[in-house]
């Protein structure tokens, strides 16, 4: 039996998983992401080692370790060039991790890992041209062209979340204004929800917050399913932003399949159906040549871990 191991570095959680020959995670371990680069690197190695030990494996049982990290990642140099959410710049992620792990290490952007995972074992299996967006604290983007990961001439392309959506619009974490991420991330949706709640004391979203404790990405979608008019407007506007951004990517890349992943994809058809209805408007000649399938990613939070585990094979 051949095993692979992948590490998914998240903003709040580090997760490592052992993947078997059937592309399943047979064991995983996770722990919180804390502050401090050196501490995080040591925790990544520890998380992977604990995952392996749970199924009686050691480093010698693996040929390599793959890592998915948010932000600008250079897979050739192993540098985490920029992570805007942590403000890390030019951090030697691979070099530091190598001090803890005696195996070849491969590093890639986390959204790229997610689309690789979906291509190998999920909803993108059998497709050769796939666009994937992960909707979470930020927005991640991964692109498969002709069956291969596309990452640009400097291997740091497809930062789709920081393409401009509205010139001079909302402030983005990258320092620019009007990026897709500033309108289509869960962070942006929470801002939009709070603004609507402030203007509408009668909306069901207030009682939702009282029940669940705080405004989240679920608030507007849950209340929209209950027929709350204010929540429905929030969801409709959010889906318009998202469809607008995706439409531009479809016009450029013409994928066969668009996948939506990340925590917000749990909204299911409440998210997918409005985006599907709106998308044609934002795609060049969409009413003539049609638009690709738009589906929910299948692997959930496992996609990035599985994709990272296979980086050594790409």
CATH number corresponding to 4-119+302-313: 3.30.420.40
Cβ contact 143:125 at 8 Å = no
HEC letters along the chain: CCCEEEEEECCCEEEEEEECCCCCEEEEEEEECCCCHHHHHHHHHHHHHHHHHHCCCCHHHCCCEEEEECCEEECCCCEEEEECCCCEEEECHHHHHHCCCCCCEEEEEHHHHHHHHHHHHCCCCCCCCEEEEEECCCEEEEEEECCEECCCCCCCCCCHHHCECCCCCCECCCCCECECHHHHCHHHHHHHHHHHHHHCCCCCHHHHHHHHCCCCHHHHHHHHHCCCHHHHHHHHHHHHHHHHHHHHHHHHHCCCEEEEECHHHHHCHHHHHHHHHHHHHHCCCHHHHCCCEEEECCCCCHHHHHHHHCHHHC
Residues near 213 by beta carbon (within 8 Å), at least 6 away in sequence: none
Q: What is the pLDDT of residue 272?
A: 98
19 strand-pairing partners: 4, 25
Q: Which CATH architecture has domain 126-296?
A: 2-Layer Sandwich (3.30)
Q: What is the pLDDT of residue 64?
A: 96
**Intra-chain end-to-end CA distance of the chain, in Å:** 20
Q: What is the pLDDT of residue 154?
A: 81
Domains 4-119+302-313 and 126-296 share a fold: yes
Q: What is the pLDDT of residue 122?
A: 98
Q: What is the pLDDT of residue 74?
A: 94
Q: What is the pLDDT of residue 90?
A: 95
Dist. CA 302–CA 273, nearest whole Å:
24
Dist. CA 81–CA 70, nearest whole Å:
10
Cα–Cα nearest to 96, from 53, 36, 154, 16: 36
Give the rounded distance of the alpha carbon of 289 from its chain centre.
Answer: 29
Q: What is the pLDDT of residue 156?
A: 79
Domain residue ranges of the chain, discontinuous segments joined by +: 4-119+302-313, 126-296
Angle between helices 205-212 and 217-225 (to 10 degrees): 130
Tokens 């948010």 locate to 70
Cβ contact 308:6 at 8 Å = yes
Q: What is the pLDDT of residue 193?
A: 99
Mean pLDDT per 10-residue interval, the chain, length 314 residues: 94 95 97 94 98 97 96 93 84 98 97 98 98 94 97 85 97 94 98 98 97 96 98 99 98 98 96 98 95 97 97 92
Cα–Cα nearest to 145, from 297, 254, 218: 254
């Amino acid at each position: 039996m051949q095993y692979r191991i992948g590490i998914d570095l998240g903003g709040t959680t580090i997760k490592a998983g052992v993947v078997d020959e059937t592309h399943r995670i047979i064991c995983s371990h996770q722990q919180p992401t804390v502050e401090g680069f050196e501490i995080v690197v040591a925790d990544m190695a520890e998380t992977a080692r604990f995952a392996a030990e749970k199924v009686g494996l050691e480093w010698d049982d693996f040929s390599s370790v793959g890592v998915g990290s948010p932000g600008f990642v250079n897979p050739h140099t192993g540098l985490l060039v920029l992570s805007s959410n942590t403000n890390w710049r030019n951090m030697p992620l691979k070099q530091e991790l190598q001090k803890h792990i005696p195996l070849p290490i491969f590093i890639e952007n986390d959204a790229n890992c997610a689309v690789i995972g979906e291509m190998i074992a999920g909803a993108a299996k059998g497709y050769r041209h796939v666009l994937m967006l992960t909707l979470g604290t930020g927005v991640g983007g991964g692109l498969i062209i002709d069956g291969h990961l596309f990452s640009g001439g400097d291997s740091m392309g497809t930062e789709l979340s920081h393409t401009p959506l509205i010139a001079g619009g909302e402030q983005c974490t990258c320092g620019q204004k009007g990026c897709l991420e500033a309108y289509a991330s869960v962070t942006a949706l929470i801002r939009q929800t709070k603004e609507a709640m402030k203007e509408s004391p009668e909306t069901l979203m207030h009682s939702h917050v009282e029940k669940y404790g705080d405004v989240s990405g679920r608030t507007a979608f849950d209340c929209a399913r209950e027929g709350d008019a204010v929540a429905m407007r929030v969801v409709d506007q959010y889906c318009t932003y998202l469809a607008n951004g995706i439409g531009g990517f479809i016009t450029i890349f013409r994928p066969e399949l668009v996948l939506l992943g990340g925590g917000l994809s749990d909204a299911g058809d409440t998210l997918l159906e409005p985006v599907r209805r709106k998308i044609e408007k934002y795609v060049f000649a969409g009413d003539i040549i049609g638009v690709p399938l738009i589906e929910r990613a299948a692997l959930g939070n496992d996609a990035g871990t599985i994709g990272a585990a296979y980086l050594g094979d790409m």
